[in-house]
Structure formats: structure tokens, C-alpha cells
Amino acid sequence: MTAAPSTLADVLIAAGPAPDYADKLALYGQFVGAWTMDALMHTDDGQRREVRGHINFGWVLGGRAVQDVWILPGFFHGTTLRVYDPAQDAWHIRWNDPVKQYYTHQLGRAEGRDIIQHGRLEDGTAIRWRFTEITPDSFHWIGDRSRDDGASWQVQADFRAKRIKA
């Protein structure tokens, strides 16, 4: 009889992508590692705040998902689980921020060189989160919302991330 793994990390963290969809898993797998981010937050009352945070991405669940933790002091401390769905050729994105009690579900796909995630808040507000200007060592992340079903978008968050460790 094999001994059960002793910690959550033993069963959660994976060394790399599952081989059966490794090419598809690379969409978010390219971010695995540690990052710093310079953030510009836009508040509902029109103010702008600049703050620095960090992000860590890693393989989880037998290499079938990517999980990340985003920490932006004063704004959020949450985690995303990104799971590839071959039937839809899309990613289910679940963001959880227990500090702010803010939760979303989105579908993510590559659009050209970018990654675009679409979803809706509980009140029906459309949200769009985008990874753009992606290189091996940097990316630009933009969080938008639309109160008119996508006719116009308001930027809520604008992050510039730089890799500090692969």
C-alpha cells in the first residue's frame, strides 16, 4: 500500500503540463513563474491609484490547470484557477478574492497574439480581462467593464507585469 501524500501542496502542485493537451495548456502555461506588477487602478469616482504587487503562476491538478495568486496591497489578494476545456477549446477562469468577497467566472481564449477573457458579474455587468503585449518576460493586463453590454468599455485596472523567476 502506498502512503498518502502528506500535504495539500503534494497533491495540488504539478511539475508541468499534462502531455495530452500540452500545446493548448501553453496558452496560460507560458506565465508559470513569479512576476512583479505595476498597477494603475481606476476607481468608480474617477480617481487613479498606482501601486505595486506580485503574481505567482503554477501548474496544478496533475498539470491540467494553471493556478495563480495575485496580490495588490490595498486592492485584492486572490487566486485564479484556469482549466482548459477541449470541448469548447476555451479556458474556464474562476477568480476568487476572499478579502473583497469578489468572485467571477469567465471564458478565456487566444485572440491573435492576445488572450481575452469574457464574463459577467452577478448584476449582469459585462467584464473583459485581457493579456496583451505578451513576451517571455512581460505582459500587459487590462481589466475592463461594460454597463451597456459591450458597446463601450471602462478600464478599471491596468497592470504591467515583469517576470522575476521562471
* 9-28: average pLDDT: 95
Predicted confidence at residue 46, as pLDDT, reads 85
For residues 121 and 107, the answer to whether their CB atoms sit within 8 Å is no
Beta strand spans in 43-113 (E): 48-60, 65-72, 76-85, 90-97, 102-111
d(CA 129, CA 150): 13
For residues 26 and 18, the answer to whether their CB atoms sit within 8 Å is no
H or E stretch at 23: helix 22-29
The answer, as to whether pTM is greater than 0.85, is: yes
Its sign, for the CA torsion 98, 50, 82, 126, is positive
Q: pLDDT tens-digit profile of 36-74?
A: 999 999 988 889 999 999 999 999 999 999 999 999 999
Predicted confidence at residue 45, as pLDDT, reads 86
Q: Which CATH class is domain 30-165?
A: mainly beta
Residue 1 has pLDDT above 70, yes or no: no
Q: pLDDT tens-digit profile of 93-123?
A: 999 999 999 999 999 999 999 999 999 999 9
Mean pLDDT of the chain: 95
